[in-house]
């Protein structure tokens, strides 16, 4: 049985998403599908994306800044306060774009 998160249930429109993944990762996903955890690859990817959105939606600005910094998506120079501010601003921009796209569809 697949996990479902309330935060994304209202998103019923679907789009085609093409991604590249390693063959080993795809084999693991196929194993999960064969075990009956997911109906198919699409269900597995949808649940993974829901989890990702849920995880980072609940992350504090400090936690998000840390993840961005460690992932190399924020500059290595600057004070911790600047890093948190940049991460918070980036989160607000993403939420604003997401809200706009929800109202236009």
| Greater model confidence, 36 or 13 | 36
Statement: residue 103 has pLDDT above 70:
no
Q: For the residues 42-65, what does the mean pLDDT come to?
A: 84
Q: Which residues contact 4 (CB under 8 A, 6 or more apart)?
A: 47, 50
pLDDT tens across 8-27, in order? 555 568 889 899 999 999 99
| Greater model confidence, 53 or 33 | 33
Q: What is the DSSP track for 54-91?
A: HHHHSS-HHHHHHHHHHTT-S-SSS-HHHHHHHHHHHH
pLDDT tens across 72-91, in order? 877 666 666 665 666 667 66
Q: Which two tokens stand for residue 62?
A: 């400090």
């Amino acid at each position: 049985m697949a996990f479902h998160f309330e935060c994304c249930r209202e998103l019923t429109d679907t789009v085609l998403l093409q991604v590249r993944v390693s063959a080993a990762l795809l084999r693991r996903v196929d194993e999960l599908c064969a075990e009956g955890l997911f109906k198919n690859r699409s269900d597995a990817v949808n649940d993974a994306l829901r989890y990702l959105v849920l995880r980072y939606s609940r992350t504090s600005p400090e936690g998000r800044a840390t993840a961005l910094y460690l992932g190399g998506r924020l500059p290595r120079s600057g004070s911790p306060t600047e890093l948190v501010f940049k991460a918070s601003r980036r989160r607000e921009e993403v939420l604003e774009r997401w809200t706009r796209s929800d109202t236009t569809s």
